[in-house]
Structure 1
Amino acid sequence: MDWAILLASGVLEAVWATALGASQGLRRPRPTAVFAVATVLSVWGLAVAMQTIPTGTAYAVWTATGASLTVVWAMARGTEPAGLVRVLLLLGIVSCVVGLKVVS
């Protein structure tokens, strides 16, 4: 269950990162509110997961999940370029996260 919470928290990290970018320096109310709520929930989920998952592993999975999804979302929306090398590098990050789960 803690792994599911950790992955959900990683998804929320992507949500808050995207909302932070859309907030224009925390000047737009709706993205700022999404950023604030998603940040609290994301960090709370990370804290819960770290009760049973080693800190280094949990943090690596959390950041890799959030960063990868943030980039994928930006590529899907067309705000960042999508190329073969970028996609392969993101797959490498995801593979490493899966590897951490397998050996934990």
Structure 2
Amino acid sequence: MERVLCETPATGRKAVRIDRWKYDFVAEAILSAVPDTEPGLFFKGLPTQVAKYLPEDKPIGSVGWYTTTVKLSLEVKGKLRRLAGVWPQRLVKVL
């Protein structure tokens, strides 16, 4: 089974590998849920939004863990960004 390396923008943290199909489903769900304009989406609400897009017939496990892992990977890849100086964390899609 093919796996994807999910890197994190945090220094000193190890990248993890997850199944490609899980990565693809979660990444697509994140990019569908997060707007490309401010004020963005609160990170805290992201797992709930992602769960709405996931197929019910293919459970992925912990939606919160996979959402966080894939979100960090999307940040590293430049497809998602955190709004600077905003707390709690808000996210926007990068076009």
Q: TM-score range by the shorter chain?
A: 0.3 to 0.5
- In our comparison, the structure showing a higher alpha carbon Rg is 1
Q: TM-score, normalised by structure 1?
A: 0.33
Greater percentage in strand:
2
